């Protein structure tokens, strides 16, 4: 990965609609996304991967009135992704997490798994009662997966642009997401830039003095 290139590059706003991510490259990116860690391994996500014209159109036409400028990005992207997050953490979800951890042999012995499960339930309980930020906390996990996937995409030569310009209600409704216990957190357009419309201007960020404190 060329970090110098990455840190001087604008996020892609104009995708080349004629280019498609090769299937094996896409699958590698999805394998990477699947491996993204989350706090207490809660794995609060479900991802919709839209590769067909019809799938992308469904998203593009349901972004909400105010966010029409993102429709072209969705349509010209090779793939668009809807990153959704659980709205709650029902018992059944944590049971499934723990069952999979046991199946995968995450811990070297059953006693450690049992201890881990109790610590995890305690942690979730604190989030729910003391901090009361369960949704926000889960969406933070989603954003970490988003950031990691953007970096992985760069490594694979794919441009990834996150999109917050959408109406959550219309997207959820169009794809029937709420009824599954999830809600849309953020979108991601994946593909290749239109070379005729790549910004060549410098990126604008605060001076390091404003960002870093060295002690
Ligand atoms: C979380 C996130 C959401 C974003 N949502 C949108 C979006 O909905 N539409 C869009 O055109 N750009 C979107 N962007 C791009 C930012 O506006 C852009 O990265 C920022 O203005 C800096 O510009 P630069 O990437 O050209 O340096 C988003 C970026 C991030 C990180």
Q: How confident is the prediction along the chain (215 residues), in pLDDT tens digits per residue?
A: 889 999 999 999 999 999 999 999 999 999 999 999 999 999 999 999 999 999 999 999 999 999 999 999 999 999 999 999 999 999 999 999 999 999 999 999 999 999 999 999 999 999 999 999 999 999 999 999 999 999 999 999 999 999 999 999 999 999 999 999 999 999 999 999 999 999 889 999 999 999 999 99
Q: Compute, in angstroms, the gap from residue 11 CA to the centroid of ligand 1.
A: 7
Take atom 23 of ligand 1 and give the residue whose Cα is closest: 10
CB distance 181 to 86 below 8 Å:
yes
Q: Compute, in angstroms, the gap from residue 165 CA to the centroid of ligand 1.
A: 9
C-alpha to C-alpha distance for 117 and 119, rounded to whole angstroms: 5
- φ and ψ of 213, to 5 deg: -120, 120
Instruction: For tokens 């997490």, name the residue.
Output: 97
CB distance 188 to 81 below 8 Å:
yes
Inter-CA distances, 193 with 77, 89, 161, 190, Å: 9, 38, 10, 9
- pLDDT value, residue 196: 94
Does ligand 1 come within 6 angstroms of the Cβ of 12?
no
Of 148, 150, 154, 161, the one to substitute when testing ligand 1's pocket (max ligand atoms within 8 A of C-beta) is: 161
CATH topology classification for 3-87+135-211: NADH Oxidase (3.40.109)
Per DSSP (E only), the strands in the chain are: 45-50, 79-86, 159-163, 182-191
Take atom 24 of ligand 1 and give the residue whose Cα is closest: 10
Does ligand 1 come within 6 angstroms of the Cβ of 95?
no
Atom of ligand 1 nearest to the CA of 203: 27
Does ligand 1 come within 6 angstroms of the Cβ of 163?
yes
Q: Compute, in angstroms, the gap from residue 163 CA to the centroid of ligand 1.
A: 7
Does ligand 1 come within 6 angstroms of the Cβ of 203?
yes
Of 6, 11, 73, 171, the one to substitute when testing ligand 1's pocket (max ligand atoms within 8 A of C-beta) is: 11
- What are the sequence ranges of the domains in the chain? 3-87+135-211
Helix pair angle (134-155, 23-35), 10° resolution: 140
Sign of the dihedral through C-alpha 108, 113, 116, 120: positive
Q: Compute, in angstroms, the gap from residue 69 CA to the centroid of ligand 1.
A: 12
CB distance 138 to 44 below 8 Å:
yes
Residues 6+ apart with CB under 8 A from 148: 32, 33, 36
- pLDDT value, residue 1: 82
- pLDDT value, residue 140: 98
C-alpha to C-alpha distance for 128 and 113, rounded to whole angstroms: 22
C-alpha to C-alpha distance for 164 and 22, rounded to whole angstroms: 26
Does ligand 1 come within 6 angstroms of the Cβ of 165?
yes
Inter-CA distances, 22 with 33, 51, 76, 117, 127, Å: 17, 11, 15, 40, 41
């Amino acid at each position: 990965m060329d970090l110098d290139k990455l840190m001087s590059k604008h996020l892609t706003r104009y995708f080349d609609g004629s280019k498609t991510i090769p299937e094996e490259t896409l699958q590698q990116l999805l394998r990477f996304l699947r491996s993204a860690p989350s706090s207490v391994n809660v794995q609060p996500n479900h991802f919709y991967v839209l590769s067909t014209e019809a799938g992308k159109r469904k998203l593009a036409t349901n972004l909400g009135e105010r966010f029409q400028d993102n429709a072209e990005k969705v349509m010209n992207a090779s793939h668009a992704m809807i990153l959704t997050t659980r709205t709650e953490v029902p018992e059944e979800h944590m049971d499934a997490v723990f069952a999979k951890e046991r199946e995968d042999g995450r811990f070297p012995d059953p006693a450690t798994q049992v201890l881990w499960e109790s610590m995890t339930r305690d942690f979730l309980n604190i989030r729910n009662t003391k901090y009361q930020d369960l949704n926000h906390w889960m969406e933070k996990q989603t954003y970490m997966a988003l950031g990691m996937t953007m970096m992985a995409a760069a490594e694979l030569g794919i441009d990834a642009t996150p999109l917050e310009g959408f109406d959550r209600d219309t997207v959820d409704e169009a794809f029937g997401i709420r009824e599954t216990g999830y809600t849309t957190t953020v979108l991601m357009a994946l593909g290749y830039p239109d070379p005729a419309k790549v910004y060549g201007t410098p990126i604008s960020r605060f001076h390091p003095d404003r960002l870093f404190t060295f002690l």
